[in-house]
Structure 1
Amino acid sequence: MIRKLTLALMMSGSVLAVQTPAFAQSAAPVSKLVEAVNIPHEKFTLDNGLTVLVHEDRKAPIVAVSIWYGVGSKNEPKGKTGYAHLFEHIMFNGSENAPGDYFEYTKKIGATDLNGTTWLDRTNYFQTVPTTALESALFLESDRMGFLLNAVTKEKLDNQIGVVSNEKRQGDNQPFGLVSYKQSGTLFPVGHPYHHSTIGSLEDLSAASLDDMKNWFIDHYGPNNAILVLAGDINAAQAKPLVEKWFGSIKRGKDVAPVNAPVPTLEKDVKIVMKDKVPTTRIYRNWVVPGLADPDANSLFIAMSALGGLSSSRLDNILVRQEQSVVGVSAYLIPFVHGSLVNIQADVKPGGDADAVAKRLDEILADYIKTGPTAEEVQRVAASNIAQQIDGLEQVGGFGGKAVALAEGELYVGDSSFYKKELERLASAKPETVKAAMQKWLTRPVLEIRVEPGEREAYKEVAAGSGSRTGTLTAPAFYAPPGADDVSVSAPVAFQDRSKFPEPTSTPALDFPTVEETTLSNGIKVFFARRAAVPTVRVAVSFNAGYAADPADKRGIASMMSTMLMEGTTSLTSTQIAETEEKLGADVSVGSTLDRTVASLRAVKPNLGLSLDLLADVIKNPAFATNELERVRVQQLTRIKAENNQPQGIAVRRLPPLLYGAAHPYGGPQTGSGYVETVATINRADVANFHQSWMHPSKAEIFVVGDTSLKEIKPMLEQRFGKWKPAAAPAPAKNFAVALPTPESKILLIDRPNSPQSLVLAGLVLDAKGSDDLLSLRAANEIFGGDFLSRINMDLRETKGWSYGVRSQINGAEDRVPFYMFAPVQTNQTGPSVKVLIDQLKDFNGAKPVTAAELEKTIKGNVLKLPGNYEQSSAVLGQMQADRLNQRPFNYAETLADRYKALTAQGLNDAMRVKVDPSKITWLVVGDAAKVKPQLEALGLPIEMVTEAANTNASNNAK
């Protein structure tokens, strides 16, 4: 559980602890929850050392294929930082028997949940495929394990150096994006494997040579340094001959030397002050503590969760809610093999005294270390996190499914069942054990970092893609042909013909769950689908509200109201809400999107009724306390400021209002946060009236997916929502009959000095609604820019190396849908990148329409991946809500295969040409104007400079 619950635990919290409500006292014990967490599996090892784990899960015709290599950035010597991650990119550029881009193959076999990642201790590659494509996936993974060297070229290396360099620039360009370098470089001494960041330095990346990469492969990518996990519609008896067939002939590689790195300790406290484009001062406290296998790591995870991870955490209670000196806090542990990182951070209230906050933070921490958590805090940490683990077991692969749990245990501690031991430690933890761990590890010298608003130092840039061959390379044979002397294979392995790609044997049909419908006594419609893979239930109470319901002079009110619903009811304080959901292992949240406001619940089955009680109370009985409203207002104003300091935030705040006009329901910032001047005027009566008018039974629908039945769930919903009688009339329908501005082909340039990258966002409002049949248009966009293999991404990323990734999208909306192109690009190629996008769109709608090969790939891939798309209950729930929003039948997903097969190139071309006019695209660029404006002037489009001050409601009304 530790591995999944680190950075995600940055949640807001509650006020001083009070007694938990009576209805939560009968929550199921933590021990009962632990019993539900189980991943039975079998293990075998090939003669070449490849470890294989197989877990059988027959809920869908899919198999997760996940391969983990025991190599990460910790294995990089000085001067070669970033090589592990760079090589991960190269692994996607084709192998000897699967030339071309790896995603070309995964696309045509219908892979979902696919990617590769690198961190300090490992590199992994994963995809979930239809059962009929399992052999295809095994062919691909085995070919790049055993047959890669001759496919690695100088051209591919130089391109990926450019891509990775732009990935680094993109991360560095974010607020607080440079902090992690200070943390790793200070906490871990020179020579420690964690001293440098996984992304590496631009200098080292630029200097990487072809020999460097090939030797990296030879040294680290042998089967004896890998773990293969297969999870899903398969068992060990079926898996073993297939794995032997494709991996058995790969020779054993070099033994990777073990890393010896004791937990470091600073000699004395270290204080660092940084300047950045941030909305307010952030204060950090950091220590290095034991690695993930040490029991103290589990205790410190509990300690940080209770301190600043839970919604009811101590830091939230004191600093955010009671004293209101900060607008956000968090505390969490990031686990690694050779030492874990404890991170505590607090964002000072704008205008507040950072020194006073730092002092108070240290006082709270000192008292906490001295006294330790309470038994109830430990219990809440256990219940809430075990419930999250149960929920994660529904997924077989991806970033956090069952395959991940098995692989991490096997790789990091040599025990694939380590996940279970972690949970048992969590469930049995005692306050005194947690306190002892804190007193042992958190009383050592601390790293204190303070990031203050201000101008960054000039970004240190180097030329990317300058790697060159430095010598010759003699590589050992990684494939043993018939009769070869291979001591790693005890029995002959049949020769496998790799000249022909093993295509999927058939196309499994999607079995989307039947959606049952009923109506509560007050008219609220209920839509239910059964999914029983894990003992959880998801409920979404959806209201026809969202950002589009914001009045033009109250932009941001839907977001403010959504936040306020979790800040107290007429019977529960915000602390009681938080503590109750934690005790129940539930997750209650309220959020708004463009067209809907949704109150959501994820509950473990034993606590479903009690969890529904909490959800209903949050929806129907908000307190809207004035003191809480003022605190939430400051948080939302700080969020607006943060968005105006972040490139993508600036873009999505500024462009959509210009496309739709300030009077249109979609004419506000697409973040939903509103404007400073509108949020400042919203009072308690405004919020209460908005809630009564829009979160109204007549605007509500309830969607349920999970381990229950309509017969069981309907009475439970009737009891809590069926007799709901509102105090006010519903709000009128949103007014979409607002004239849109005439689209203009021009460039809006927002100056952001010292930006390592430029952010390009282009847009156009289409003559189409979400309820229209947009399948052909979306399929055409997938080819143009909506997929990794799309034309614009392959051009700007894979061919030119100017971006980490670009995309175009047809956004979902109830009314007029927008078309966007999004491209973060390196500064010195901003103008040329915009020209590429212009030319690509003109070509797509003109001389270079959809090809037969592109059409076939799009149809085949989308049909094959349907079962994987709906593996999880959350995806089913999302599809049900989307179908309802877009006025489609609930069996829509099951019709998609035939609808895709009926697509034609002419149909895709016509859809794009009719809907997307290149001459009407509006362009917005966020970057260093002094460097990019001359480039943009060469394009011949009108350029308007836009200042940050213009990003207000008043200025948008003036347009």
Structure 2
Amino acid sequence: MRYLLASAILSLTFSTCAIAQSGPIAEATASASSENQFQPATLASLVDEVDIPYETFTLENGLTTIVHTDRKTPVVGVTVYYRVGSKSEPRGKTGFAHLFEHLMFGGSANVPNFDIPLEAAGSTSTNGSTWYDRTNYVETVPTGALDLALFMESDRMGHLLPAVTQDKLDKQRGVVQNEKRQGDNQPYGLADYAIGEGLLPVGHPYRHSTIGSMADLDAASLADVRKWFIDNYGPNNVVIALAGDIDAATAKKKIEHWFGDIPRGPDIAKVSAEPVTLAAPVSREMTDQVPVTRIYRAWSGPALTSPDSVPLAIGMHVLGGLASSRLDNVLVRDEQLAVSVAAYAQQHEQLSFLEIQMDVKPGIDRAVAEKRLDEVVRQFVKQGPTQDELNRAATEMVSQQIGALEVVGGFSGKGATLAEGLLYADNPALYKDQLDQMASLTPAQVTAVMQRWLSRPVYRLAVIPGERSESGAAMGGWGDEDTAQQISPQTRGADSDTTGPEAAKLAAETEAQAAEPRTAPELSQTRDLTFPDIQHATLSNGMAISLAHRDAIPKVLIAMEFDAGYAADGSAGAGKQSLMMDMLEEGTTHRDAIAIAEEQERLGATISTGTSLDTSSVMLSALTANLAPSLDLMADVIRNPAFTQEDVARVKGQRLADIAQAEASPFGIARRAIEPILYGPQHPYGSVGALGTTAVVEPLTPADLRSEHSRWLRPDLARITVVGDITMEQLIPQLERVFGDWQAPAAPAPGKDLTTPTPKGSARIVVIDRPNSPQSALMFGKVLPLTGQDAGQEPLDLANEVIGNGFLSRLNTDLREDKGWTYGIRTSLSDVKGPRSFEVMTPVQADRTADSIKLILADMKAFPTARPVDDVELQRVTQGNIRGLPNRFQTNAQVLSGIIANQHLGRPDDYYADLADIYRAIDGKDIDEAAASYLQPDNMVIVVVGDRKVVEPQLADIGLPVEYIDSAGE
């Protein structure tokens, strides 16, 4: 994939949240259940809500297009699936499909750069991904940019070869190898390799990883790349989905115009890739730099289109996917042998991976925990689920699918759903058949399927704490590398066939693709963003209500936010607020944790709690038909938490394990170190993050958490924001019923002093040793003389996009695309009420740590003195953002986030409606002045988490003081 940074390293500050009760009156009111008044919608009626109408057509060259019309937003999701993935790779070519995906963004005969024109036209970032069965490319564009997107997709489909060069191959090889290092460098990062090796024999198409082995990536040649394109990227191997502001008649004209002249290619032969039954159970143990022991159980399973696929997915969800799953209830809640569990079916076109995992609770004998895990699984396989469990699992999945109807493009939008159905089952409506089957399942059907697949010999894997015993560089390949010829750095990527018939064929094809120059189309007019009107009201207790009515899907999102957050802890109490929030769903005075989880599942609702720096929040996602009972549950969770001794002890154990996990992750370590350095221990923002520290969390008692709840979660510190399928006339009575009588306590509301001085910044490097790390995690940071509520910061936001916030930013172009030292780099400006921080984060290959630091500092310093913003960058960040505004608000969640941001930062309701005019008024001088004032590298602290013996010798000539610390926050 082309993601800038893996989600695991983007943020480690998420936790949970809670709310305060005001005494017996509030409790009595909130406990009045409405279950007898409001009956949840039936599963069958919910399935009927999920519908994606479509039309299809196929060109003479074999290219098939699916069209779905959705006019709610003036955007079109363009989703292109090629019927080739890593399972098509022969021996010695592992990782090749994914490497080629990267090369597809390097330009074609008539398109020097795919990203710049599209993002300037308002597209989402163009992206792609590779998996066992397919490679896909996605962008969501304003309607007026659709022809531009189709021109570009057709140019690389039919005119790529003239632009493929050895230099591009070498650079993208470096990027992909750093992507592999990034994944390998995570705790448990080698487990997937081991599972593939353990379940499937050498040569099985699903055995090797999609990322491949370092040796095979080294061996990829230019001739290999060109041949891969000719053999696999013909239009007859393609499905295009267009979803959004488009109709079939218009789409057919455009597809024929742009793709009709591309000749057919060879048909991709289907490989043999059946599930494999092990002859006997297999066990493997690996040591790794992990905080807790993780146990895996794995089997290969049936194809996505097998009749067993849906019952098996539901069965695994009941076993270890639901919040009230069998494994959770027994191993985490009841017997407390584990801190987390999971079970799932990862389903592919020709087989699936059935996996169960358990993180053993520290202090628990591993053998005891493993034995009990196997007993619970064995009992479930023997007895099967109840009908209630099946209904809850199915309702949860259908509710999620209804939510997915909001998105037209991207990797999981409606276009992808239709395309994958056609690709894997010759049926775009496969999702509908699966939901219908899901809704009618019986316990006997699921039990029979679970017995058929999970009674076979199992693959057991244990990853235990210690020094890493395996090398990720040597894993992920075909499986017979011990006997394969080794590739030296001097001969890597050398063309294996530069003369002869095959080379002549490639040369002729390349010449043909370059013969007829093509011109990009002009952009046509696109409607501006129409941000929904915001209505306001007040409950009888004074609580403020804001509503944006949107009826595209039958769901409602409700957020209750409190002016608290983990800034309420300060460094001395780090972790208290978020642990209190974690406890909200662990039991009320009327329901225990299992009852809370089961009720959400029956309703198709999701209640989540969160603690950001400035706010603590409770979020409800509910089906409109089930809103009343869902609100009853939300109110009980908020107002009446129980904080029992047993529940607090259990959740504290899980929190301590979460802290240990963060302290094992490269960016977890860096994140926990940098905020205390930047803000200092006296400032509310100067803590290690929401998770807190062991020293604070371990001694917390139920009484401490009750006090925290009463102090901060109170109606006079709260406001409610709602987006979705409901009117204010319908909403207010519902909220009055569950929150209207909730009164603030007599004690004055607490506050946070965000004006506390922060330390004077001083440029230096802080190194935290993490041995055996193939990459170094870099985090740069400084506090700005600005608060999030200061007006007029849009030029600074755009300057941040120029330097580092986006795929086309200067830092990403330099460090990733040109040098190939990282998989991605990103800069960010914190959106907080108090002092903002500016941060840079990137994982870089360990031997380029100092070179990367120097390059980042030089690029930042050059902006704008030596290199002011240029016309292309200005067009991209101003006009591109203007045209892209409708893309930013497709979903209820995006609209809710926008409204809350306005409230949080003191902006007017019509801020996003006016944002286009604000951007139009910004020129290059404004952006340069913002960069000069705020984005210079002066006084930046640089935290390096990596292998000290590799990193230390590189730092001597950077010219900054270097200090070494063991860890942060303890």
> Structure 1-normalised TM-score?
0.94
Paired residue for 2:776, among 751, 755, 758?
758
Instruction: Classify the secondary structure of the residue corresponding to 2:506.
Output: coil
Shift of 1:727: 4.4
Q: Deviations over 1:908-933 (max 9, x none)?
A: 11112112342201110001110111
Question: In the aligned structure 1, how far is the partner of 2:550 from the partner of 2:216?
Answer: 49
The residue that corresponds to 1:72 in the other structure is: 85
Contact 1:249 1:479 in 2 (8 A): no
Q: 1:496 to 1:227 in 2, by over 3 A?
A: farther
The 5 Å alignment of 1:336-351 reads 336-351=348-363
The 5 Å alignment of 1:377-396 reads 377-396=389-408
Contact 2:570 2:681 in 1 (8 A): no
1:296 correspondence with 2:313: no
The residue that corresponds to 2:199 in the other structure is: 187
The residue that corresponds to 1:4 in the other structure is: none
The residue that corresponds to 2:562 in the other structure is: 543
Instruction: Classify the secondary structure of the residue corresponding to 2:828.
Output: strand
Paired residue for 1:636, among 631, 642, 655?
655
Q: Deviations over 1:509-542 (max 9, x none)?
A: 0000001111111111111001111111111011
Question: In the aligned structure 2, how far is the partner of 1:325 from the partner of 1:74?
Answer: 38
Question: In the aligned structure 1, how far is the partner of 2:122 from the partner of 2:932?
Answer: 28
Paired residue for 1:92, among 105, 108, 114?
105
Shift of 1:428: 0.5
Instruction: Classify the secondary structure of the residue corresponding to 1:747.
Output: strand
The residue that corresponds to 1:3 in the other structure is: none
Question: In the aligned structure 2, how far is the partner of 1:393 from the partner of 1:69?
Answer: 23
Paired residue for 1:221, among 233, 236, 251?
233
Query: For residue 81 of structure 1, what is the amino acid of its counterpart?
Result: T
Contact 1:158 1:465 in 2 (8 A): no
Paired residue for 2:41, among 9, 25, 28?
28
Question: In the aligned structure 2, how far is the partner of 1:782 from the partner of 1:24?
Answer: 52
Shift of 1:186: 1.4
Query: For residue 639 of structure 1, what is the amino acid of its counterpart?
Result: D
Shift of 1:598: 1.0
Paired residue for 2:620, among 579, 596, 601?
601
RMSD across aligned C-alpha pairs, in angstroms?
Answer: 2.0
The 5 Å alignment of 1:531-930 reads 531-670=550-689, 672-727=690-745, 729=747, 731-772=749-790, 773-930=792-949
Q: Deviations over 1:608-655 (max 9, x none)?
A: 111111111111111111111111111111111111110000000001
1:198 correspondence with 2:210: yes
1:374 correspondence with 2:386: yes
Q: 1:381 to 1:460 in 2, by over 3 A?
A: closer
Query: For residue 952 of structure 1, what is the amino acid of its counterpart?
Result: G
Contact 1:643 1:649 in 2 (8 A): yes
1:471 correspondence with 2:497: yes
Instruction: Classify the secondary structure of the residue corresponding to 1:801.
Output: coil
Task: Give ranges in structure 2 of 5+ residues lacking alignment.
Answer: 1-6, 9-14, 17-32, 474-487
The residue that corresponds to 1:952 in the other structure is: 969
The residue that corresponds to 1:359 in the other structure is: 371
Contact 1:161 1:465 in 2 (8 A): no
Q: 1:24 to 1:788 in 2, by over 3 A?
A: farther
Contact 2:588 2:640 in 1 (8 A): yes
Task: Give ranges in structure 1 of 5+ residues lacking alignment.
Answer: 1-6, 13-19, 485-494, 954-959
Question: In the aligned structure 1, how far is the partner of 2:857 from the partner of 2:653?
Answer: 41
Q: 1:23 to 1:812 in 2, by over 3 A?
A: farther
Question: In the aligned structure 2, how far is the partner of 1:333 from the partner of 1:400?
Answer: 18
539-548 vs 845-854, which deviates more?
845-854
The residue that corresponds to 2:190 in the other structure is: 178
Question: In the aligned structure 2, how far is the partner of 1:582 from the partner of 1:131?
Answer: 38
Paired residue for 1:39, among 52, 58, 72?
52
Paired residue for 2:430, among 418, 421, 434?
418
Contact 1:21 1:576 in 2 (8 A): no
Question: In the aligned structure 2, how far is the partner of 1:173 from the partner of 1:153?
Answer: 30
The residue that corresponds to 2:29 in the other structure is: none
103-112 vs 778-787, which deviates more?
103-112
Paired residue for 1:285, among 297, 320, 325?
297
Instruction: Classify the secondary structure of the residue corresponding to 1:381.
Output: helix
Q: Tell me the number of residue pairs that the alignment of Structure 1 and Structure 2 aligns.
A: 922
The 5 Å alignment of 1:248-267 reads 248-267=260-279
Question: In the aligned structure 1, how far is the partner of 2:452 from the partner of 2:344?
Answer: 17
1:107 correspondence with 2:119: yes
Instruction: Classify the secondary structure of the residue corresponding to 2:296.
Output: strand
Question: In the aligned structure 2, how far is the partner of 1:480 from the partner of 1:673?
Answer: 58
Question: In the aligned structure 2, how far is the partner of 1:225 from the partner of 1:628?
Answer: 54
Q: 1:477 to 1:677 in 2, by over 3 A?
A: same
Q: Deviations over 1:351-395 (max 9, x none)?
A: 111100000011111111110000100010111110000010111
Report which structure shows greater RCO (CA 8 Å, sep ≥6): 2
Shift of 1:23: 5.3
The residue that corresponds to 2:443 in the other structure is: 431
Query: For residue 539 of structure 1, what is the amino acid of its counterpart?
Result: I
Q: Deviations over 1:852-878 (max 9, x none)?
A: 321122112111110111011110000
Question: In the aligned structure 2, how far is the partner of 1:620 from the partner of 1:778?
Answer: 39
Question: In the aligned structure 1, how far is the partner of 2:964 from the partner of 2:511?
Answer: 63
1:208 correspondence with 2:209: no
Question: In the aligned structure 2, how far is the partner of 1:836 from the partner of 1:519?
Answer: 53
Question: In the aligned structure 2, how far is the partner of 1:517 from the partner of 1:693?
Answer: 27
297-306 vs 195-204, which deviates more?
297-306
Instruction: Classify the secondary structure of the residue corresponding to 1:475.
Output: helix
Paired residue for 1:276, among 273, 283, 288?
288
Q: 1:463 to 1:925 in 2, by over 3 A?
A: farther
Question: In the aligned structure 2, how far is the partner of 1:501 from the partner of 1:290?
Answer: 45
Contact 1:146 1:479 in 2 (8 A): no
Q: 1:723 to 1:247 in 2, by over 3 A?
A: same
The residue that corresponds to 1:489 in the other structure is: none
Contact 2:64 2:238 in 1 (8 A): yes
Contact 1:23 1:610 in 2 (8 A): no
Q: Deviations over 1:551-587 (max 9, x none)?
A: 4322101110111001011111111100000000001
Paired residue for 1:308, among 298, 320, 341?
320
The residue that corresponds to 1:238 in the other structure is: 250
Contact 2:242 2:415 in 1 (8 A): yes
Question: In the aligned structure 1, how far is the partner of 2:314 from the partner of 2:515?
Answer: 50
Question: In the aligned structure 1, how far is the partner of 2:662 from the partner of 2:491?
Answer: 32
Contact 2:755 2:834 in 1 (8 A): no
Contact 2:35 2:629 in 1 (8 A): no
Q: 1:177 to 1:479 in 2, by over 3 A?
A: closer
Instruction: Classify the secondary structure of the residue corresponding to 1:899.
Output: helix
Question: In the aligned structure 2, how far is the partner of 1:464 from the partner of 1:922?
Answer: 38
Q: Deviations over 1:67-86 (max 9, x none)?
A: 10110000000100000000
Q: 1:770 to 1:404 in 2, by over 3 A?
A: same
Question: In the aligned structure 2, how far is the partner of 1:779 from the partner of 1:363?
Answer: 56
Contact 2:34 2:628 in 1 (8 A): no
